[in-house]
Amino acid sequence: MENLRETLGDPPDRVRWRTKQNLDFAFLMMYSQPKATFYVQLEDDILAKKNFISTMKNYALQKISEKSPWFVLEFCQLGFIGKMFKCVELPWLVQFFLMFYNDKPVDWLLDHMIHTKICSLDKDSKHCKKAKSQLWIHYKPSLFQHIGTHSSLKGKVQKLKDKQFGKVALFFPHKNPDAMVESAIKHYKQYSLTRAYLGETFFWGLLPQPGDHLVFTFTTPILIKHYLFRSGNAEHPSDRFYNTSVEVLPMSSHTSLSRIDYNATSDGFVIIGKFDAMGVAEGAIDPQLGAIKVLRLNVHSESENWAILSEIHISAS
């Protein structure tokens, strides 16, 4: 890695980045090759369609039963995401990557390898393209979408999207109990907490601060069976609520549980949950707490990002 040739006119840091990626893929393939029937390359900043594993497996088995001579099944058009190979054929790729890891990006090497494998020098490019399409099969619609914007290469912004994936849901509407909704967190444009509670859009608040609340005061006190608050969405996955608790105010201030089995705030709210590392707060409420007058989200630390609530679901008994 210290003596890499500068290729494709790329600066040294980019050459090093894509070279390491090629070697990482090669070593990962070598490790995985004896462990399974199929190998699929994914990334951490993607969305996946429901049941994607079953869809991919069934499609691969269908192609095998049809005796199709495929080398790669592509479930996403972007880069090296969502490419499936037969483990028995991975050594072809590994050898190719280990020969040319310094020369080109991994997705280019995949294309070149199949070109070398199938294209004839005495045939034109049209014939080559047709031959390659028999080994490199595209599945539609795409099962994966890239959602990250910042590449692992410092300073690079990656905005590529797979148009075949379709639209991505940015919020999940629910019918919630009648309530008055308020917050000191200023909302961006039309993305208000009231509209989010009604299931019309998501809430998008500007930089939550310690002591900020999102308050849901029910028109009539209710027995709450379950609650779900999901923060962030596909386009802004980092705009989450961090270090934020879920608290309720029971109708009866004499509820013994509120001070024995639960932590309580100085103003009488019972702390029943908090947002986890993925920006989700979910749980059931002990029916012994009785009817609930108010539910609130209490922010305990300053946020570096704005915050989105893409799902609010309060289920009453």
| CA–CA gap between residue 8 and residue 51 (Å, rounded) | 39
3-class SS of residue 6: coil
What pLDDT, on the 0 to 100 scale, is given for residue 168? 72
Query: Which residues, at least 6 apart from 105, have a Cβ–Cβ distance to it below 8 Å?
Result: 18, 21, 22
Helix (H) or strand (E) holding 91: helix 90-100
φ/ψ of residue 220, rounded to 5: -125, 130
44-79 confidence digits (pLDDT tens): 778 888 899 999 999 999 999 999 889 999 998 878
pLDDT at 118: 86
In a domain, 161, yes or no: no
Note whether 225 and 112 are same-domain residues.
no
In a domain? residue 95: yes
Q: Tens digit of pLDDT for each residue in 191-225?
A: 999 999 999 999 999 999 999 999 999 999 999 99
Q: Which two tokens stand for residue 141?
A: 């619609």
Q: What is the mean pLDDT of each run of 10 residues along the chain (317 residues)?
A: 86 90 95 95 83 93 92 88 94 94 91 89 86 89 74 49 68 96 95 97 95 96 96 89 95 59 84 95 92 96 94 94
Tell me, what's the pLDDT at 166?
65
CA–CA dist 283, 179 (Å, integer): 20
DSSP 8-state assignment for residue 317: -
How far apart CA 192 and CA 185 sit, in angstroms, is 10
- Of 122, 146, 170, the last residue of a domain is 146
Please report, for residues 232, 233, 309, the alpha-carbon distance to residue 170 in angstroms, rounded to integers and kept in the order given: 9, 6, 10
Task: Enumerate residues 6+ apart whose C-beta is below 8 A from 176.
Answer: 197, 198, 199, 312, 313, 314
Residues 251 and 297 in one domain: yes
Residues 67 and 188 in one domain: no
* Distant-in-sequence, close-in-space partners of 281: CB < 8 Å, separation ≥ 6: 227, 228, 229, 241, 244, 246, 273, 274, 275, 297
Q: What is the CA radius of gyration of the chain?
A: 26
Domain that holds residue 294: 179-316
Give the pLDDT of residue 151: 45
CB hemisphere CA count around 194 (13 angstroms): 7
What pLDDT, on a 0 to 100 scale, did the predictor assign at position 156? 46
The pTM (predicted TM-score) of the whole model is 0.60
Residue 112 has what pLDDT? 92
199 and 276: one domain? yes
Domain shared by 197 and 280, yes or no: yes
- Is there a single domain that holds both residue 220 and residue 310? yes
Amino acid 309: pLDDT? 97
**Residue finishing a domain among 127, 146, 165:** 146
User: What is the CB neighbour count within 10 angstroms for residue 79?
Assistant: 17
Beta strand 136-138 with 72-74 is parallel
Q: The tokens of 56 are what? A: 């991919």
Q: Is residue 229 part of a domain?
A: yes
Assign residue 230 the CATH number of its domain: 2.60.120.260
Residue identified by tokens 């004839």 is 120
- Total domains, the chain: 2
